[in-house]
Amino acid sequence: MESERKLGSARYWCARRAAVKHAFGRNIRARYSCTYAGTMADFMSPEGRSAHMSKIHSKDTKPELVLRRLLHGVGYRYRLHDARLPGKPDLVFPSRRKVIFVNGCFWHGHDCPAGTRLPKSNTQFWADKRRRNRERDLRQQGELVSRGWQPLVVWECELQSDGRVLETVREFLGP
């Protein structure tokens, strides 16, 4: 399919960027990142592009900041976006061997209105994308468990409501 072909080319650029980084180090990598983003954006459909851009900007999105503020306020300390762990968890608590993912309901297919409704156009595209995201999430969580880490998913919609989610997270983390 057309969109698959385009994604294939994006993967090629991704591999190429990694190779360049390996060979030349950071500065070159930064230049290639730009090339990569531009190339990928040009290749993609508007939907794919917006999905891609939302990934680029996925760090420090609002729900995650809300949780970080809550946890910091009650004294927990953590590392952020640890790329050495499967799924690059948003919050990592090394001494507790626990990690937290703050997941957007739409992208990760939460069992709530935002995560179960699909856009009216390109419905199949979004359904497939969401299914792949969910499968990947589960796989990564399984890998974490097999490495001795306990994962918790906090959903975007849970952070929009009252403070109940903080109780859940405190229970998960322990004192």
**What is the nearest approach in angstroms of Zn ion to the Cβ of residue 115?**
5
Q: State which residue, 20 or 157, has the beta carbon closest to Zn ion.
A: 157
Contacts of 30 (CB under 8 A, 6+ apart): none
Nearest to 131 by CA among 157, 155, 107: 107
Q: State which residue, 35 or 160, has the beta carbon closest to Zn ion.
A: 160
Instruction: Tell whether residue 157 is a contact of Zn ion (CB under 5 A).
Output: yes
**What is the nearest approach in angstroms of Zn ion to the Cβ of residue 126?**
16
Q: State which residue, 98 or 108, has the beta carbon closest to Zn ion.
A: 108
Question: Alpha carbon of 35 to those of 6, 12, 39, 92: distances in Å?
Answer: 15, 12, 6, 31
In which residue are the tokens 């072909």 written?
A: 5
**What is the nearest approach in angstroms of Zn ion to the Cβ of residue 162?**
15
Side-by-side strand order, sheet with 150-155: 79-80, 91-93, 98-103, 150-155
Q: State which residue, 103 or 141, has the beta carbon closest to Zn ion.
A: 103
Site for Zn ion in 97-156 (CB under 5 A): 105, 110, 112, 115, 155
Contact residues: Zn ion, CB under 5 A:
105, 110, 112, 115, 155, 157
